Structure 1
Amino acid sequence: MIRSRQPDIIILIHSGYDEQVYALPYIKAGANGFLSKQASHEEFKAALKAVMSKGKYVSYQVQQILLNTIKDNNFGKVMNPITSLSPNEMRVMQLLTEGKWTKEIAAIMNVKENTVSTYKRRIFNKLDVVDSIELSKKVSLLKQF
């Protein structure tokens, strides 16, 4: 959206979110780089230098993941944790992102509330989120790519 209004703007994302999940979607969306808030001062300077010279920047760890996924021809699965969900977890995730409560999901899926709670816990762990709001945001972002 920013890039459509100002095509020459330089965008370096500096985020506390997991770079192994979020870096690629932001780069694909037009960011010049992605840097974790845990990065060292030296890495921050290197990232700024790279993007200011019209280059791209991702950390060494993300570079290694990208190279391994290209080598293994497994690109989408590694960068998108949604692919690690079971069919039941996918269904629960979908219903959660629609705003359904645990009790409603249990009734829809004809399972116990405890079962839904177990699926929720697994989903939150696999997608590294803490609540349904964060889940919805992450799923929305990941489904774009």
Structure 2
Amino acid sequence: MVVDDQAVVRAGFAAIVDAEPDLHVVAEAQDGAQAVRLAREVSPDVVLMDIRMPGMDGLTATRLLTAEPTESAGAAPRVLVLTTFDQDAYVHDALRAGASGFLLKDALPEELLAGIRVVASGEAMLAPTVTRRLIDAFADTAPAPDPELLTSLTPREREVLTLVAAGHTNAEIADALGVTTGTVKSHVNALLGKLGLRDRVQATILAYDLGLARPRRTHRE
């Protein structure tokens, strides 16, 4: 489902998605309230969500969509936030509200499609550079979590968490640690369970909040 208050933008995203044989747009919504209502009817797997919309904004809609499963599908949709990062101060809150990741609105079509497929598979879509800027900009506003949370992790799980927070894929982590991707996936699942986290997005936020990972600055940033 594509959610944006601009009809032209919705049509553009829908055209890109519907051109793919394995993807189909089941609904379009012009605001958060309509998105929540339609999601209960059509049960989308993934929702492309704008943040700034009149009426119910994308942040509120994301929280509602991820909080309770749809009756027909039995599982809440995955929300992929589409944003113009420099203007949207709500992206950090959207991730905390349950979004599975975000992309910039000027992303290439192939990046958008890859993001949808990644999120649909149950992973998180995080652009490392933008993630660092995001955390750097909003970490001071977040309540500090209990550092004792990390004591439940093994040294290897803690190492994997650090690499996840840096934006690395399972394959990249496997190469770095000299193990199989299956082993990395097992470590990720284990640390998510121990920390009571839903996915890699929440793991990344927690790692930054605890100081396990730090934003790396570049000249551009």
> The TM-score by the shorter chain falls in which range?
0.3 to 0.5
Q: TM-score with structure 2 length normalisation? A: 0.30
Greater RCO structure (CA 8 Å; 6+ sep): 1
Q: Looking at secondary structure, tell me which structure has more helix per residue.
A: 1
TM-score (norm 1): 0.44
